[in-house]
């Protein structure tokens, strides 16, 4: 399914842009364009003119934003008992919620630190 399809999923009430991108990319895949982010903006925050620019700075397409630009906060992560590493939970806790026209991620997300060259 493409983000431009009439039956493409809409954001849930109070769902943030990051949780929406994570959900739709997991369910329908990524077309490696900013189309899912644009769909979120058009449906939830039509006046958020800088949203696509902010998402572009985080990677652009949906899979890059939630895969490389943002990461779940520590409180959402679970510890692997064998490796002692933190990892994303198998079952995502659901969006922490944002205002009806917010174009920001909820408190379950944080910006990934930028890597510095050595």
pLDDT at 116: 62
Residue 22 has pLDDT above 60, yes or no: yes
pLDDT at 118: 54
Most confident by average pLDDT, 46-50, 57-61, 105-109: 105-109
What are the φ/ψ torsions at residue 69 (nearest 5 degrees)?
A: -85, -40
pTM of the model: 0.88
Q: How far is CA 110 from CA 51, 58, 117, in A?
A: 16, 11, 21
Work out the widest C-alpha separation in the chain, in whole angstroms. Answer: 47
Q: How far is CA 117 from CA 18, 49, 59, 64, 111, in A?
A: 27, 32, 19, 20, 18
- CB burial of residue 27 (10 Å; 0-12, 13-18, 19+): exposed
Q: Using 50, 70 and 90 to split pLDDT, how confident is the model at 117?
A: low
> How close are the terminal C-alpha atoms of the chain, in Å?
41
């Amino acid at each position: 399914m493409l983000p431009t399809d009439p039956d493409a999923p809409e954001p849930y009430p109070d769902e943030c842009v990051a949780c929406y991108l994570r959900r739709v990319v997991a369910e329908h895949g990524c077309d490696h364009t900013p189309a899912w982010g644009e769909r979120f903006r058009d449906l939830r925050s039509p006046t958020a003119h800088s949203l696509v620019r902010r998402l572009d700075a985080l990677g652009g397409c949906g899979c890059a934003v939630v895969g490389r630009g943002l990461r779940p906060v520590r409180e959402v992560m679970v510890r692997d008992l064998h490796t002692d590493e933190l990892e994303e939970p198998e079952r995502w806790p659901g969006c922490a919620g944002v205002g009806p026209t917010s174009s920001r991620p909820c408190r379950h997300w944080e910006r990934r630190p930028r890597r510095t060259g050595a």
